[in-house]
Amino acid sequence: MQERNISQGNFEQCQKCSLCETVCPVMANNPAYAGPKRSGPDGERYRLKNGIFFDDSLKYCLNCKRCEVACPSGVRIADLIQQARIDFEHKAPKLRDMMLASTDQVGPLASAFAPIANFALGLKPVKGLLDVTIGVDRHRTLPKYASGTFVQWFRKNAAAAQQAYPRQISYFHGCYANFNYPQLGKDFVAVMNAFGIGVNLMDERCCGVAKIANGMIPAAMRDARHNVEVFRDSVAAGRDIVTVSTSCTMTILEEYPELLKVDNSDVMGHISLVEPYLYKLIASGAVKPVWKEGWKARVAYHAPCHQERMGLSIFTLELLRMIPGLVLVELESNCCGIAGTYGFKKENYEVSQKIGKPLFDSIAAAAPDFVACECETCKWQIEMSTGVPVKNPVSILAEALDLEKTEYLF
C-alpha cells in the first residue's frame, strides 16, 4: 500500500450528519461530483486501504472549504480531498494548467508587454483559439496586466520614505497586486503610511495556491519553503508580515503546514491579513482615522469563501461600518464560483457560472455603487458576470480616509 501523508486525517470524527453536503456548491450544480462527505471522510477510509479507490471526480472540488466551515465535528474535509489528489493524481499538469498556475512566471512577461497582451487576450479569435487549443473557456474575460509592476513603482516612488515611520511591517503583496493591479499595492502603502507604518518588501515568491490546485506540488513546496525563510528574516528584523489577498493568506497559514508539509509554526503568529491588522490599530486607540467629508457610497460586501474559512470577515465589516458615508449591504454568503483558476477551465466554466448565479442575483438586487471584496479572483468573476465594479476594502479605505489628517499615537 502507498504510504500516505495525512496529518490532517481526522476523518474518524465524521458523524455522518451530511451537513457538509448541504453547503457544497459543486454538489448542487455538478452531478458528476460525489460531494464532500463521500469524497472526503468516506472516501478516505477506502483510499487508506488501497489507492485504487481514488476517484477522479475529486478534481471537481473547488477547495472553497465551505464544507469545513459547516462541519460540526471539525473534519478537515477539503484538506482530505486535496491531499488525496496530491497523493494519487500522478498525471503531469496540462500546459493550460501550468500557464494558469505559474502566475509568477507569466506575470513578468505579460506585464512587460501589457498593452499587446491585453489587446490580444481581449480579441474573440484569440479567445476562441485558446478555447480549442488549450481549453481556456472562450466566454471568460481574461485578467488584464499592468504596464509596470507594483514592485517597480514602490522602489522608484515609495521605498525611500518608509523608514521615517515609527512602526514597520513587511508587505506580502502577492502576484495580483504586482502584475495585474498595482493600484491595490499603492493604496496599501498610502493607508499604512497614514497609520504611521512604514512598508517593506520581501524577496517573496508566489504563495502557491494556484500551483497546489493544479498539481504542481514540488514547485509549490519550493516557493513555500522560500517564503517561510523570508518571513523568518522579517520577523528577526522586528517586522510582522501583513497580507492583502485572502487566498494567499489562507495558503500561507493553513496549506503550507497541512498540504505542503512546510512548517510555519514559528512565524504564523506574526502574519496577519490587513483588515484585522488595521481594525485592531483603530480599536486600540493607536490610530484615529479621519474620514473625508462628503464621501458617500452604497457598498455590497461579498465575503470570499477563504475569508469565511479563516473567520475574518467580521473585521472587514467593522472597518466598513466605521466609514460615515458608507451604506453597507451584507450579501448572503455564497460562493462566486471561480475558485482561482477553476472557472477559467473549459470543462468547469458552466458549473462555475451556475454556482455564482445566486451571488450575481443578490448583487443586482442590492444595486450597489460597487462591491467590497478582499479576493482578486472573486473580483474577476463578479465584474465579468454582473458588470458591477469590485473594490478591495483597502482601496475603499484609501478613498474614504483623509490620509493627511488621520492621526497615529505611537
Per CB under 6 A, residues contacting ligand SF4 are 14-20, 24, 26, 36-37, 40-41, 61-67, 70-71, 73, 75, 77-78, 81
Do β-strands 287-288 and 407-408 pair in parallel, antiparallel, or remain unpaired?
antiparallel
Beta strands at 370-372 and 240-243: parallel, antiparallel or unpaired:
unpaired
Our CA angle for 5, 9, 11, nearest 5°, is 150
Question: Nearest approach, Cβ of 45 to ligand SF4 (angstroms)?
Answer: 12
- Smallest separation, CB 260 to ligand SF4 (Å): 17
Nearest residue to 278 via CA among 153, 389, 190: 190
**Which is nearer to ligand SF4, 20 or 219 (by Cβ)?**
20
Q: Which is nearer to ligand SF4, 69 or 286 (CB)?
A: 69
CB 103 within 8 A of CB 378: no
Query: CA-CA-CA-CA torsion for 336, 337, 338, 344, nearest 10 degrees?
Result: -140
Q: Measuring CA to CA, which residue among 307, 371, 302, 298 is closest to residue 331?
A: 302
Please give the C-alpha separations between residue 370 and each of 35, 297, 386, in angstroms, as whole numbers.
Answer: 33, 8, 11
The set of cell numbers assigned to 391 is 473594490
Shortest CA distance to 40 belongs to which of 26, 52, 23, 55?
A: 55
For residue 345, the minimal CB distance to ligand SF4 (Å) is 14
CA atoms within 13 A on the CB side of 343: 27
Nearer to ligand SF4, 61 or 287 (CB): 61
Residue 271, C-alpha cell as written in the block: 502574519
Cβ nearer to ligand SF4, comparing 76 with 379 = 76
Report the C-alpha dihedral over residues 280, 285, 287, 293, rounded to 10 degrees: 110
CB of 33 to ligand SF4, least distance (A): 8
Closer of 30 and 102 to ligand SF4 (Cβ): 30
Rounded least distance, CB 375 to ligand SF4, Å: 15
What minimum distance in Å lies between the beta carbon of 313 and ligand SF4?
17
Instruction: Report the nearest approach of ligand SF4 to the CB of residue 100 (Å).
Output: 18
The residue among 42 and 383 lying less far from ligand SF4, judged by its C-beta, is 42
Nearer to ligand SF4, 67 or 262 (CB): 67
Name the phi and psi angles at 29, rounded to 5.
Answer: -125, -10
Q: Please, which residue, 96 or 306, has the CB nearer to ligand SF4?
A: 306
Is the alpha carbon torsion for 98, 339, 138, 367 positive or negative?
A: negative
CA–CA–CA angle 234, 287, 292 (5° rounding) = 120
Region of 396 (left: φ > 0; alpha: ψ -120 to 50; beta: rest) is alpha
Cβ closest to ligand SF4, residue 70 vs residue 121: 70
Tally the C-alpha atoms within 13 A of residue 336's C-alpha that lie toward its C-beta: 33
Shortest distance in whole angstroms from residue 354 CB to ligand SF4:
13
We find the least distance from the C-beta atom of residue 306 to ligand SF4, in angstroms, to be 10
The smaller minimum CB distance to ligand SF4, of residues 78 and 219, is found at 78
